[in-house]
Structure 1
Amino acid sequence: NATSYVCAEPVAGIILQDGLLQNYYPDGTKESKTDFVLTEEIAAFKSKFNPLKQTKEKHISTGLFGYFSWNAVQHFEDIKFISATPDDEQIPMMQYHVYRYIIAIDHFKNEITLVKNVFNEDENEDLSKIEYIIQNKNFPEYSFKTNGDEQSNLTDQGFMDMVEQMKKHIYRGDVFQIVPSRAFNQAFLGDEFNVYRCLRSINPSPYLFYFDYGSFKLFGSSPEAQITINNNVANIFPIAGTFKRTGNDEEDVALAKKLEEDPKESAEHVMLVDLARNDLSRHCNGVEVKSFKEVQYYSHLIHLVSKVSGNLQENVSAFKVVADTYPAGTLSGAPKYKAMQLIDQYEKLGRNFYAGAIGYMGFNEDFNHAIMIRTFMSKNNHLHYRAGAGIVADSIAENELNEVNNKIAALRKAIAMAEEI
């Protein structure tokens, strides 16, 4: 997709924080509740809006933009997490907003389309305010500098010990596969937008995003969709199987063939494709694997990718299917429920934003979200980032540590490059 979207001036939204669900609307009214079913509340919130049909416009012109975190699964499944997120890293579990202005940038045609969402007949449809801001780019620019050394919640040995503990659960038959992760953070001074600029150039991916919520920011370059839903067709794209690129194209082609034939990587991939099929089958018909184990190349990594599709059953909301399929098996494991319990038990530090989903949700039931991997959260002048590795019975702890470092490499490189701007 060669289109970027910039959203400004939120006028309505639905936010979940500390067990309180709050809605606000363009007319200034607000609602809040502590007893709710989240999937039903999202459907009810969306039903309050009845946008006019846009016959000519090919770009997104309205809908909700936002995210939900790893912890939101506690509202999708009967599960409770005990791992805590430190107070200074807390963000809302979920938030989506409707924006007054949407700017669509077509990179192929070098065209900008301006959209203003008007919520009552008396409202001014003038776009001069946003046109003025675009044409008068008088904004200060600031540099970026790291402040001290990178920190982690685990030592290298600590992560490898966790891998060995989780392998014991695989041997016992508790899970077939599990995805432990390791958290990092880097203090900084200045403007972290420079890190995003560098990450885009280092690691161009299907999903590039920068969400500024004032007190914190979420930005990244994710290779993997959580789920896409378009015209009532749901698609999941499991990414499992990872080798590090060499920098030599011929060697990378040979490495890709080796990846396809690797029994450990293939076993992991097949399990996650089956998991996607099972998840979609809860509220979709005609579920099938459209493509299987395709090789895809990224800046630092080679991945195996499949596509699993299904048709939404009648009268099933898009977000219900999202809840069915969250979290991605590639970030949890199989069986998913037990894998999540073990992750919560052993990781200690709550995942927070990591492995959550971020993107767009249409009033027409379209849905397109990236998984928050290769992603930074910036808060209180600290960058937080995380990576995981898929563990199966014959995993070697040192190799899984290397996989985490390979996945985090692009983010570390972006931080280093941002200091040179």
Structure 2
Amino acid sequence: MYNYKSVCKKIIVDTITPVSIYLKLRDQFSNTILLESSDYIAKDKSYAYICCNPISKFYIKKNILTIEYPDKVVKKKKLSDNSNVFSELSNYMSKFNVKEKHKKNNKFITKGIFGYMSYDSVKFFEKVEIKNESYGDNIPEIFYSFYSEIIVVNTFNNEATLISQSGNLNQINNIEKIIKTKNISEFGFKLQDELESNLKDEEFIKMVNKGITHCFRGDVFQIVLSRKFAQKFSGDEFCVYRQLRSINPSPYLFYFDYGSFKIFGSSPEAQLVVNDKKAEIHPIAGTFKRTGDDLVDSEKAIKLFKDDKENSEHMMLVDLARNDLSRTCSNVKVEKDREIQFYSHVIHLVSKVTGELKSYSRDIIGSTFPAGTLSGAPKHMAMKLIEKYEQHNRSFYGGAIGFIGFDNEFNHAIMIRSFLSKNQRLFLQAGAGVVSKSDPKNELQEVYNKIGALLKALEKAEEI
């Protein structure tokens, strides 16, 4: 058992931003991560997290589980696709006992682990064979870390709480000095060559037609088919994140640095939220492109709300979310039905499905993963067809990233509108929900609509 008694200190940060804090700390601590939110509805519950000094890691790569403990003990274990990953994860998390002084008077979360599950990790939760055809974007299927130091910024009242989970007050004082320094190291960013893709437009349209055929046959009601893009670059990819958070503000903004690769994005959609035995899924399906004219966009929003094809697609995924939650929850209901939400480049239909956990188990994570909005319905058959028709394994795309609490909280975003940086290449991916009424050319355009903010961020990043 690893016992910790955390210490904390509050400071005012009215002249400092979470981004500037991250830029200062990443020079001193490797593998620092940043989580933010532009959810204006949250107000006084809006927090940004900067986590540094990962003292323990849990990760799975090519079915090898590696655990690096705080005392430098390293354990490895060979897993099969039938292994109970959540049992392994729960056993790992049970090794930590963290007592917090700051918890009583604050609403933020820190007592837990931060990390991600790639789409490819679904092989541990469902009987779906994941191909091993990488586009150069292969990463560990699952990666979580326990961070010694965490800075929590309340962006509503400009107050930061500096926390050392290991009780190191000297480290807190050191971090405060770093945060208050005036110097920030910034580096430029430059695009190299043209944007690449693993599919030509006509090849994607051909794949969509195959999906439509399966919908007509009744094999699936909907299937989400996607394509990859890659962009070579030189310099600092954090410039892309800075532009992306400005161009496409979203409820989930994140930048996770793992040294040999980085994952960052601006996701509009939660994979799963669990708090106080209440579970939530927020299906997003139904997409129209924005024009830049607010009046025209308002008219398009009304058209989207009334569109038969988009509504049919959306309700399939709401039903799927209800079914997923019903496996572990009671009193499952749709709390919000087809709300219109505006983003920088698209308009979405968004619902909220909730349930009350019968008894807490991390099995709820697997039973709701991946999101139906990234796979289709019925989910199992849709995933089998995705493996059949998409040329490469999805890697990070469609996975989930966020926080798992020792007290059973869970909050993860779906990795969409996101980048993976590896070997001086930025990978991005987007898909379209294919149904029997789909027009292949419209589905192709939907992909370009969804990556619009990402491409703009790439272009604008050169200006920093």
Q: 4+ residue runs of structure 1 moved beyond 6 angstroms?
A: none
Q: Is structure 2 residue 73 aligned with structure 1 residue 29?
A: yes
- Secondary structure (helix, strand or coil) at the match of 2:451 reads helix
Amino acid at match of 1:408: I
Q: TM-score, normalised by structure 2?
A: 0.87
- Residue equivalent to 1:420: 463
Instruction: Determine the C-alpha separation between the residues in 1 that align with 2:200 and 2:413.
Output: 29
Offset from partner CA, 1:347-403 (integer Å, 9 cap, x none): 111100000000011101100000000000001100000000000001000000110
- Give the alignment partner of residue 377 of structure 1, picking from 402, 420, 433: 420
Equivalent residue in structure 2 for 1:320, among 363, 366, 378: 363
Q: Within the alignment, does 1:307 sit opposite 2:352 as a pair?
A: yes
Are 1:230 and 2:284 counterparts? no
Task: Measure the CA separation in 2 of the matches of 1:338 and 1:83.
Answer: 19
Deviation at residue 58 of structure 1 after TM alignment: 2.7
CA displacement at 1:25 relative to structure 2: 1.9
The amino acid that maps onto 2:68 is: Y
Structure 2 partner of 1:90: 138
Matched, 1:178 2:223: yes
Judge conservation of contact 2:131–2:392 (CA < 8 Å) in 1.
Answer: no
Alignment match, 1:261? 306
Q: In the TM superposition, what whole-angstrom CA distance separates every residue of 1:45-89 from its partner, at most 9, and x where no partner exists?
A: 111122225212332232100001001110011221225114x42
List per-residue Cα deviations over 1:70-126 (Å, max 9, x = no partner).
01110011221225114x42211001001010001111111111000017xxx6665
Change in Cα spacing, 1:8 to 1:141, as seen in structure 2 (3 Å) is same
Using the size of structure 1 for normalisation, the TM-score is: 0.96
Trace 1:393-412 onto structure 2 (pairs within 5 A). 393-412=436-455
Q: Which residue of the partner structure matches residue 22 of structure 2? A: none
Which residue is 1:46 aligned to?
A: 93
Instruction: Check whether the contact 1:118–1:125 (CA below 8 A) recurs between aligned residues.
Output: no
The answer as to 2:198 corresponding to 1:153 is yes
| Correspondence 1:103 to 2:146 | no
Q: Deviations over 1:213-238 (max 9, x none)?
A: 11000000000000100011000000
Provide the residue aligned with 1:355 in structure 2.
Answer: 398
Structure 2 letter corresponding to 1:376? F
- 2:250 equivalent in structure 1: 205
1:108-153 Cα deviation digits (max 9, x unpaired): 111111000017xxx6665122122212354432111100000001
Q: Which amino acid aligns with 1:64?
A: I
Pairwise CA distance, 1:252: 1.3
Letter in 2 for 1:327: P
Q: Which runs of 5+ in 1 are unaligned?
A: none
Amino-acid identity (%)? 51
Q: CA deviation at 1:278?
A: 0.5
Q: How does 1:37-76 map to 2 (within 5 A)?
A: 37-53=84-100, 54-76=103-125
Q: Distance in 2 between matches of 1:100 and 1:329?
A: 35
SS at match of 2:434: coil
**Which residue number corresponds to residue 7 of structure 2?**
none
Give 1:141's aligned amino acid: E
Aligned equivalents of 1:189, 1:170: Cα separation in 2: 43
What CA distance in whole angstroms lies between the structure 2 residues aligned with 1:342 and 1:358? 24
Matched, 1:190 2:190: no
1:183-211 CA distance string (max 9 Å, x none): 10000011110000000000000000000
Tell me, yes or no, if the aligned pair for 1:83 and 1:347 is still in contact at 8 Å: no
Deviates more, 1:123-132 or 1:141-150: 123-132
